Amino acid sequence: MVGFGPHLTSETSGLKMGVDMGAQTDIETVMTSVNVAKGLPNAHYVSDTVFEEEKQAVLFKNWSGIGFASDVPEAADAMPVNFLGVPLLIVRDRDGSVNVFQNVCRHRGMTLVSEAQKIRGTIRCPYHSWCYALNGELKSTPHVGGPGFNTHDDIDRDELGLFRVRSYVWHDVVFVNISGDAPEFEDVHQDLMSRWADFEKPMYYNAVDSGITLDLACNWKLAVENYCESYHLPWVHPGLNSYSRLEDHYNVVELGRYSGQGSHVYTQLKRDDGSTLPDFPNLPDKWAETGEWITVYPNVLLGVQRDHTFALVLEPVTKEQTIEHIKLFYASQDAVGDVYADMRARNAALWGDVFKEDIFVVEGMQKGRHAPMFDGGKFSPVMDGPTHCFHHWVASQVSVNRTAT
Amino acid sequence: MGSDVEYSLDALAEQLLAAHSANDAQRLVALYTNAADLREQAGDINAACFYLTHAFVFALEINAAERRDLQIRLWRHGREVKPEALD
């Protein structure tokens, strides 16, 4: 293993002497009850081999977030995304639907769109000018039969549309299943979608003041783990003690499905005159003072409150770098207008401070994963259930993949 | 069908380079159509279809109104699929 001394044992590090044995990490100790389980071994945070293994088993085989529908707000908007090396293109069609394609021409594999833009007509490959409609259909193959001959018997345009990637938009997040063989999104996440059915409503976004991007020097999973649990709140976010106390929180642990936290005391922002941001319409009373913050496995962090929601899409750049794309959403067109600009600014600052306060923790844990004797850690059976639930799920995905391969 | 600009082929070459440099697709549609017209008038259908192809591609790229007529011209020469509206 690069960077690790030969004195290590697989028991303490998940690695064997001198060789990156990440693909053989011991994950059985993770897939047991929280009372006795260990966390994922170091290799799951610092090994190139395991990063590649998880890329396939965890991120490509499931429904991963790659961006937001609001990144392509208008018809014919297109945004390229590089997701773990896979060139993707998010496109809003003229009918309003959002589709994801592999961002490559079917001819020579040239990448098609290099920067976010409005597609005026068709997507033209900059290499030989094959042209694609917004729905991926191949519309033109110039000179394919020789100069001035644009058809050929062996070029079937109907079979040469852009490769469509399975996608699903939920809470404005664009999820994709790169491997193409995951169960339907609505089947995988039906329990969570039912849990939050009250928030299946239009959400509104102000592109000027409601987006935050953070660059984290850590593995993407550490951002998930920190988000899931409330244990750290009084220590890392002392400002929350006045309005979101630890004892008001509860764990959300649904083994094999999702995890996170909630609070029975969600305190709305108020102006001096007592006014608040508009609520989502027709919410049941249970949301009056309750907020929940849950991870949609693998890499999307969602939060719901009566007057706003937010989503964090974790972009795994490398094994030790993650970009956090954060957007806050509101309940009505009015709520994203000038009248509430002051409230949105306060809300964005509040959450921005909380998310920034977490940076030293996730980056500190990443550095800690280079400590050779760290063994994945000991969970609090009471407080760390959500984190263990995530570890258990990741290990299960890896285990299934190892069995299959 | 003709374009709204008319140049000799030599003059067109310079204009085309400028339009390519400026990434001016609408101008490219007009200039390539002009070139196609000139070659078609000279009876050189292959060269005309070469230029028509370029005009058609740039018209597609920007959803220019000329795209349908350009496709029809190419189709009539057996160089492009039949426009859907004519099916």
Among residues A330, A360, A334, the alpha carbon closest in space to that of A348 is found at A330
**Strands A164-170 and A300-304, sheet pairing:** unpaired
Query: Mean pLDDT lowest for which of A22-36, A265-279, A299-313?
Result: A22-36
For residue A272, pLDDT beyond 90: yes
pLDDT in tens, A126-166: 999 999 999 999 999 999 999 999 999 999 999 999 999 99
- pLDDT at residue A18 in the model: 41
For residue A11, pLDDT beyond 70: no
For residue A16, pLDDT beyond 80: no
Query: Mean pLDDT lowest for which of A4-18, A323-337, A347-361, B37-51?
Result: A4-18
- Local structure of A111: helix, strand or coil: strand
Give yes or no for A127 touching B (CB within 8 A).
no
Determine whether the interchain pair A148/B62 forms a contact, defined as Cβ–Cβ distance below 8 Å: no
Give yes or no for B28 touching A (CB within 8 A).
no
Determine whether the interchain pair A121/B79 forms a contact, defined as Cβ–Cβ distance below 8 Å: no
pLDDT in tens, A64-97: 999 999 999 999 999 999 999 999 999 999 999 9
Q: CB–CB of A209/A330 below 8 Å?
A: no
- Local structure of A241: helix, strand or coil: helix
Among residues A258, A234, A262, A232, the alpha carbon closest in space to that of A250 is found at A262
CA distance, residue B83 to nearest chain A CA (Å): 10
Residues 101-120 of A with CB under 8 A from B: 120
Q: Which residue has the tokens 């063989």?
A: A181
CA distance, residue A133 to nearest chain B CA (Å): 9
For residue A8, pLDDT beyond 60: no
For residue A4, pLDDT beyond 50: no
Give yes or no for A122 touching B (CB within 8 A).
yes
* Average pLDDT of the residues in A31-36: 96
Q: Is the dihedral of CA A233, A234, A238, A244 positive or negative?
A: positive
The DSSP H or E segment spanning A354 is helix A341-357
DSSP state of A185: H
Question: Is residue B25 left, alpha or beta, with left meaning phi > 0 and alpha meaning psi from -120 to 50?
Answer: alpha
Give yes or no for A135 touching B (CB within 8 A).
no
Q: Tell whether pTM > 0.90.
A: yes
Q: CB–CB of A100/A174 below 8 Å?
A: yes
**CA A245 – CA A267 distance, rounded (Å):** 11
CA distance, residue A272 to nearest chain B CA (Å): 52
For residue A319, pLDDT beyond 80: yes
Q: Which two tokens stand for residue A231?
A: 């244990």
Selecting from B53, B60, B79 the residue whose C-beta is nearest the C-beta of A121 gives: B60
For residue B86, pLDDT beyond 70: no
pLDDT in tens, B57-70: 999 999 999 999 99
- pLDDT at residue A234 in the model: 82
A36: Cβ–Cβ under 8 A, 6 or more apart, which residues? none
- pLDDT at residue A240 in the model: 72
DSSP output for B8-76: -HHHHHHHHHHHHHTT-HHHHHHHHHHHHHHHHHTT-HHHHHHHHHHHHHHHHHHT-TTHHHHHHHHHH
pLDDT in tens, A373-398: 999 999 999 999 999 999 999 999 99
- pLDDT at residue A232 in the model: 85
Radius of gyration of chain B (CA): 12
Selecting from A124, A150, A157 the residue whose C-beta is nearest the C-beta of B53 gives: A150
**CA A393 – CA A297 distance, rounded (Å):** 8
For A97, phi then psi, to 5°, come to -75, 150
- Local structure of A321: helix, strand or coil: strand
Radius of gyration of chain A (CA): 23
State the pLDDT confidence band at A245, using cuts at 50, 70 and 90: confident
Chain A residue numbers touching B49 (CB-CB < 8 A): 148-149
**CA A129 – CA A400 distance, rounded (Å):** 43
Give yes or no for B79 touching A (CB within 8 A).
yes
Chain A residue numbers touching B46 (CB-CB < 8 A): 147-148
Determine whether the interchain pair A120/B61 forms a contact, defined as Cβ–Cβ distance below 8 Å: yes
Q: Which two tokens stand for residue A165?
A: 């990637």
What count of Cα atoms within 13 Å lies in the side-chain half-sphere of residue A361?
Answer: 19
Determine whether the interchain pair B60/A139 forms a contact, defined as Cβ–Cβ distance below 8 Å: yes
Determine whether the interchain pair A140/B52 forms a contact, defined as Cβ–Cβ distance below 8 Å: no
- pLDDT at residue A96 in the model: 96
Determine whether the interchain pair A148/B64 forms a contact, defined as Cβ–Cβ distance below 8 Å: no
- Local structure of A195: helix, strand or coil: helix
For residue A9, pLDDT beyond 70: no
Determine whether the interchain pair B80/A122 forms a contact, defined as Cβ–Cβ distance below 8 Å: no
Q: In percent, how much of chain B has pLDDT > 90?
A: 80
- pLDDT at residue A242 in the model: 67
Chain B residue numbers touching A122 (CB-CB < 8 A): 60-61, 63
- pLDDT at residue B84 in the model: 82
DSSP state of A95: T
- pLDDT at residue A241 in the model: 67
Determine whether the interchain pair B60/A124 forms a contact, defined as Cβ–Cβ distance below 8 Å: yes
For residue A5, pLDDT beyond 60: no
Amino acid (one-letter) located at A291: G
State the pLDDT confidence band at A47, using cuts at 50, 70 and 90: very high
**CA A100 – CA A88 distance, rounded (Å):** 7
Determine whether the interchain pair A148/B56 forms a contact, defined as Cβ–Cβ distance below 8 Å: no
Q: CB–CB of A302/A309 below 8 Å?
A: yes
For residue B1, pLDDT beyond 90: no
For residue A186, pLDDT beyond 80: yes
- pLDDT at residue A24 in the model: 80
Instruction: Kindly report the length of chain A.
Output: 405
Determine whether the interchain pair B53/A122 forms a contact, defined as Cβ–Cβ distance below 8 Å: no
For residue B87, pLDDT beyond 80: no
Q: What is the mean pLDDT of chain A?
A: 93
